[in-house]
Structure 1
Amino acid sequence: TGFNPWQRPERAAGNARAVAEAILGGGVKPQIESFPLEEVVEAHRALEGRKSQGKIVLFVTQ
């Protein structure tokens, strides 16, 4: 038996509402680190070395 959030729909709905309110209220701050594509090696090192939390985004400069 595993965790099934939909086993109790009334609880799942309340949890979903609480998460949505936290997001809309600014209580959830996504952690995003960005690197120019030219620094892809450094970005990969940050991932490998667990020096980054959240997501890493590569962007293209012109």
Structure 2
Amino acid sequence: MKGNVLDIAIVVGGAFASITSSLLANVFAPTKGLFISGVDLADLFLVLKIGVQDGPYFISTCQ
């Protein structure tokens, strides 16, 4: 009985993952695109703490 329950849980989990990714790709992404009108969010980031070293996202306050 335990093996069958585990098998069913894996199948249901896989189906849920497929449904979720399809819903995000086909419903939420186009809707988001309509509201933000073509803004590319790929380069959007938020600096949580100013770094100590120079890096690609270092914001220098001592200029």
With normalisation by structure 1, the TM-score equals 0.32
Larger Rg belongs to: 2
Larger RCO (CA within 8 A; separation ≥ 6)? 1
TM-score for both structures, normalised by structure 2: 0.31
